Structure 1
Amino acid sequence: MTPALLRHPRFISLEGGEGAGKTTAINAIRDWLQSQGHDVVLTREPGGTPLAERIRELVLGGAPALEIEEPLAPETELLLVFAARAQHVREVVRPALARGAFVVSDRFTDSSYAYQGAGRGLDLQWIADLERRAVGLQPGLTLLLDVDVRVGRARASGRDLWPDRIENERDDFFERVREAFRRRAQDDPGRFRMIDAGQPPAGVAADVAAQVAAFVARGETA
């Protein structure tokens, strides 16, 4: 029997392409939730635990010291991401939710559908099966920070000294990723809220805080 996929009401994820402003958004969510007296855990993917962060280095590379001569196959990339995610969920996400905290994650499984699915062309059903068997958990609210690919890439270009493996992809890759995110948001309006990430950071922060406030006000987070 295929394991069930639990949608947890205190689990919030941030999704979007490169340069979408997820750091600004995640800080705005933390600040609003804490202002309401909630315990908040911020985390990220790939990563979130010491072991998962090591896997992140393998997946993303970037700095010269982390470069590996052998190319990373798309299938290997996907399985590494899910290995990191399984560890992250077991060691960080589930324990925090169990004690009553909100968990806010910079990326979660939707990124695998977008980057490894649409971007790399891997089978979406395989990703869905991994999601159920290795993760078993889905955010109750996902905020999609949507921005034009060229705008986002221009923002991200000066952010890091060494672009990582994903950041070095071509524009057509990121167009497929953006379209996949938008399609997932359209297919699951009960979970997703789309944010215009092309506006100034203050506007993004205000919009995400308002969406979280509305979500909490609906009383679905108990």
Structure 2
Amino acid sequence: MFWAANYFPKSNRVTAIFITFEGIDGSGKSTQSKLLAKTLADQGVDVIITREPGGSVGAEDIRKLLVEGETDRWSPETEILLFTAARRDHLEKTIRPALANGTVVISDRFADSTRVYQGVARADLRKTVDALHDTIIKVEPDLTFIIDVDPEQALTRGLARNSGEDRFEDFGLQFQMDLRAGFLALASENENRCRVIDGNRPIDAIASDVLSIAKAAIG
């Protein structure tokens, strides 16, 4: 059973939209995506929670290649190809079927992470990322939450998890700082769908802001 098979079938029909959570490693976005999914489900909304890389059987296999191992395991160009392959399978097997069924889809990361990680912070490859996305994926979220936190605290939190999926944390603090700048720049470029949320607060306070914005979006 892969991580994305967290379905909460209910009966309260709302607008089936695609919501994503983005942010640097250790920002708390995974916690917030799970809290939003649970709260919506408790209120009777059909919802699925998924993640990237991963979210489908094939994409989960690719995930292991990307998040484990040494920092120099892959070049930025190879990472882009692997992420795009995983994302396409995720889109075909999980995201599109759920939306077609009238289900709200919440994903912990999507294409914005590749735009920032491989397109800006790892290398100057944003044009390559965008070209592949426009050719292979062709889908943008309806609403994106960017959980903005202090990079030093986030890195400490991320490494403390000792999850075995620490490849990107191992790039160090400057990399996390570059990521934060990249996400904030991306938010300013996409104000119509991106909402920057102050993540340097108690979890409940963050979740309250997220829920208010999400409920307005799904009606």
TM-score greater than 0.5 by the shorter chain = yes
Q: 2:203 aligns with which of 201, 204, 213?
A: 201
The residue that corresponds to 1:112 in the other structure is 114
Cα offset for 1:26?
A: 0.9
Counterpart mapping for 1:64-83 below 5 A: 67=69, 71-83=73-85
The residue that corresponds to 1:54 in the other structure is 61
Q: Is this contact kept in 2: 1:28–1:208, CA < 8 A? A: no
Q: Is this contact kept in 2: 1:75–1:122, CA < 8 A? A: no
| C-alpha distance 68-199 of structure 1, shift in aligned 2 (>3 A) | closer
Q: Is this contact kept in 2: 1:20–1:145, CA < 8 A? A: yes
Cα offset for 1:213?
A: 1.6
Amino acid across the alignment from 1:172: Q
Cα offset for 1:134?
A: 1.2
CA distance in 2, matches of 1:93, 1:83: 14
CA distance in 2, matches of 1:163, 1:59: 9
The residue that corresponds to 1:182 in the other structure is 184
Q: Is this contact kept in 2: 1:9–1:140, CA < 8 A? A: no
CA distance in 2, matches of 1:12, 1:85: 15
3-state DSSP of counterpart to 1:137: coil
Q: 1:10 aligns with which of 1, 10, 17?
A: 17
Q: 2:86 aligns with which of 81, 84, 88?
A: 84
> What is the count of residue pairs matched by the alignment?
205
Higher relative contact order (CA 8 A, sep 6+): 1
Cα offset for 1:163?
A: 5.0
Structure 2: unaligned runs, 5 residues or longer? 1-14
CA distance in 1, matches of 2:71, 2:35: 39
TM-score w.r.t. length of structure 2: 0.88
Q: Is this contact kept in 1: 2:21–2:30, CA < 8 A? A: no
Cα offset for 1:161?
A: 4.7
CA distance in 1, matches of 2:70, 2:163: 18
Amino acid across the alignment from 1:127: V
| C-alpha distance 9-179 of structure 1, shift in aligned 2 (>3 A) | farther
1:26 and 2:28 correspond: no
3-state DSSP of counterpart to 2:164: coil
Cα offset for 1:162?
A: 3.3
The 4+ residue runs of structure 1 with deviation greater than 4 A are none
Q: 1:144 aligns with which of 135, 143, 146?
A: 146
* RMSD over equivalenced CA pairs, Å: 1.8
3-state DSSP of counterpart to 2:31: helix
Structure 1: unaligned runs, 5 residues or longer? 1-7, 62-66, 218-222
Cα offset for 1:172?
A: 1.4
Tell me the alpha carbon deviations over residues 128-173 of structure 1, each in whole angstroms, 9 at most, x when there is no partner.
1111111111100000000010111121121125352111012111
CA distance in 1, matches of 2:36, 2:172: 31
